[in-house]
Amino acid sequence: MFAFRLILASLRGLQTNLMRSLLATLGVIIGVCAVVSAMSILAGAEREIGKRFESMGADQIMIVSGSSGRGHRQARVNALTPEDADTIRDQCPLIRNTAAEFTSAAQIKYLQRNTNAAVLATTDAYKKINDYDVAFGRFISREDNRAARKVCVLGHKIANKLFGEVTPIGFRVKIKGQGFTVIGVMEKKGFLGFREVDSQVMVPLETGMKRLFGVRFVTMITAQATGQEKLEAAIQQVKRTLRGEHKIRAGTDDDFSIFTQEQAKERVADVTKIFEVVLYSIAGISLLVGGIGIMNIMLVSVTERTREIGVRIAVGARRIDIAAQFLIEAAVISMIGGVLGVVVGVAFADLLEKITRVLKTFTPPSAIVYALVMAGCVGIVSGLYPALRASRLNPVEALRYE
Amino acid sequence: MLISVRQLARVYQMGEHVVRALAGVDLDIQAGEFISIVGASGSGKSTLMHLLGCLDRATSGTYELDGRPVMAMSDRELALVRNKHIGFVFQTFNLINRTSALDNVGIPLFYGRQARVREKAMASLERVGLANRYKHKPSEMSGGERQRVAIARAIVNNPTVIFADEPTGNLDTRTGEQILEIFHDLHQSGVTIVMVTHEMSVAAQARRLVHMTDGLIDADREVTTELRRELVQAGVLGATRVQNEQHLETEGTPS
């Protein structure tokens, strides 16, 4: 009850100096706003990255050319062939399926409409491994690949861009100037890993490598293990098989590297950690500045109310009552700043998302709690010295103060 | 005996100078007395009042309030004594300007952690005849009204003794008399009143007059008709009156 009345009294004190109180909160508002928006951006990014990793599949093994074993890449970066994918699938009991792919960009044209798109040359296994199917028509078949047929499957978005509402099965498009027949349109998917698949064009691996781009090596082989718990053993099998296939002698580095969803996650987590530290440092500094602002205002307030403090002591306030009054005032300023800061911070993060259209933000409830607790702590810490000074005033001198 | 003081001294260190504001005072005040402490400025009367009011600690000597040794009390105990047993009235009123009269009167109750603050504060305002002005802020009141609010604040906890430091010093004579009238009423109802003033005409309203010079009491007399006559003859009492009234005529009626 007494504490409640004390809070009421401090609120009234702040109200009489509304403009100054607002200015005092400004530092905290900015600080908390920085904390909240920083946390929102980070949490949003983490969630977004998390989603993409989920779409990658936890049982997948990605194999790319070049060694990353000792921090340097080998000269011979092109090492993986379509045959490697077949060998891995056939010789590793713990691998259920593999899909080799070659990716590049090319111009794709239908009548007068043309656009630049990512071209993915792959095999029929791609669909199964990624759990990504057609909405209309059919996907690339084994037969298409063997015969290197000039057929293509369009991503959801690019189909829309070139053909609008029309279902384009059987229509002919030109990729890099060569005619291709559209055999399917994929379902809406968004992202697979970090690739936006809705905008890509898929062609048979053989067709892409030989007829479109003239290459001998693939960009990546995706291998699907028989189970997530056997991932480590599966990786070892793949390694052994590929080393044998590539005739790598014992003691020399692999000419390929393998990574999984888990490893990629860790690598990204390392990067976000750095961002986290930087963003929190900035937020922490602005909160510190806010705290100094509050301390300044509180010291002015104590000096200004010296006589009042004298009167309060004269009518029976204990030193701790005086200290509590000023401490609560500082905490209230800070908490009000904290609440306003959260509101502004959430709005700011939202605005950022709308303006950039790239950043996805998300304010976790824990961020709000954290920001408010931080604000309260800043208020109490910065109010401590002024409160102590007020409580130590000599009442006789305070009553004489002009 | 309500107040009993022996060889009370207060020494200040002002840089290299040692100032003996109070040089060893003996004083006894009984419950229900109305006593004035007079003296020139620097005579030590305010210092004595601050010590008696438990706002300051003496350098040496003894002080018993209602039989309890004040010198041995902790800060916390002193705060409690000020809250429950002592009321202060100041020359400059010392009200908190941003809150209403009622809230000002309620402050001692607040620090005394008491219930029914509004009710008690209202009753106190009624005693000084300001119940109808309870909502007003001090800045919306005249000097006399402000001092009445201050008195209401001083008596709200039913203290045993009220210390008044030049309570009429910032008021015109007529308003000052109204304030003194309230002190008389309080005295009638049994409250002990200790009033510090440098105006003999005000001091003579009390029943006992203590005169101080250079930190010591040099006269302690009952205020009798005889003493009043003496003061008039000495030109102290009458002269002040006349002076004040002339002052009023030239200045017009103050609010």
- Reported residue count of chain B is 255
Output the CA–CA distances (angstroms, integers) from residue A314 to A98, A392, B42, B153, B192, in the order listed. 86, 13, 22, 11, 18
Q: Which residues 177-236 on chain B approach chain A with CB closer than 8 angstroms?
A: none
Instruction: Report d(CA B194, CA B246) in Å as an integer.
Output: 29
Cβ(A140)–Cβ(A100) under 8 Å? no
Output the CA–CA distances (angstroms, integers) from residue B99 to A3, A10, B50, B222, in the order listed. 19, 12, 26, 41
Q: Answer whether B56 sits within 8 Å of A396, measured CB to CB.
A: yes
For chain A, percent of residues with pLDDT exceeding 90: 47
So what's the pLDDT on residue A137?
A: 93
The pair phi, psi for residue B236, each rounded to 5°, is -80, -50
- Cα angle: A10, vertex A13, A19; to 5 degrees: 125
- Nearest beta carbon to residue B90 from set A308, A316, A399: A399
So what's the pLDDT on residue A192?
A: 82
The interface pTM score, or ipTM, of the predicted complex is 0.89
Tell me B32's DSSP state: T
The pair phi, psi for residue A105, each rounded to 5°, is -120, 150
Instruction: Tell me the residue type at A362.
Output: F
Cβ(B71)–Cβ(B57) under 8 Å? yes
H or E stretch including A277? helix A261-304
What's the average model confidence in pLDDT over A265-277?
83
Instruction: Report d(CA A38, CA A285) in Å as an integer.
Output: 13
Tens of pLDDT along A210-260?
999 999 899 999 999 988 888 889 999 999 999 988 888 888 888 888 888
Instruction: Report d(CA B38, CA B45) in Å as an integer.
Output: 7
Is the pLDDT reported for residue B38 higher than 90? Answer: yes
Tens of pLDDT along A14-54?
777 788 888 888 888 988 898 888 888 888 888 888 777 77
| Distance of residue A327 Cα from the nearest chain B Cα, in angstroms | 16
Tens of pLDDT along A53-107?
777 777 888 898 876 554 444 445 678 999 999 999 999 999 999 999 999 999 9
- Cα angle: A312, vertex A313, A318; to 5 degrees: 110
Q: Answer whether B99 sits within 8 Å of A310, measured CB to CB.
A: no
State the pLDDT confidence band at A183, using cuts at 50, 70 and 90.
very high
Residue B123 makes CB contacts below 8 A (sequence gap 6+) with none
Task: Give B-chain residues touching A312 at CB under 8 angstroms.
Answer: 107, 111
So what's the pLDDT on residue A274?
A: 87
Burial label, A271 (beta-carbon count in 10 A; 0-12, 13-18, 19+): exposed
So what's the pLDDT on residue A42?
A: 85
So what's the pLDDT on residue B238?
A: 58
Residue A335 makes CB contacts below 8 A (sequence gap 6+) with A372, A375, A376, A379
The overall average pLDDT reported for chain B is 89
| Distance of residue B15 Cα from the nearest chain A Cα, in angstroms | 16
Domain boundaries, given as residue ranges, for chain A: 2-52+266-400, 101-220
Tens of pLDDT along B109-120?
999 998 898 999
Q: Answer whether A318 sits within 8 Å of B79, measured CB to CB.
A: yes
DSSP B139-200: GGS-HHHHHHHHHHHHHTT--SEEEEESTTTTS-HHHHHHHHHHHHHHHHTT-EEEEEES-H
Substitution target in B12, B48, B110, B146 with the highest count of A β-carbons within 10 Å is: B110
End-to-end CA distance of chain A: 34
What's the average model confidence in pLDDT over A333-340?
90
State the pLDDT confidence band at A194, using cuts at 50, 70 and 90.
confident
Instruction: Report d(CA B66, CA A353) in Å as an integer.
Output: 73
User: Where do the domains of chain B lie, and which CATH numbers do they carry?
Assistant: 33-54+73-225 (3.40.50.300)
So what's the pLDDT on residue A145?
A: 93
Q: Answer whether B108 sits within 8 Å of A316, measured CB to CB.
A: yes
Residue B204 makes CB contacts below 8 A (sequence gap 6+) with B36, B223, B227, B228, B231, B237
Tell me A207's DSSP state: I
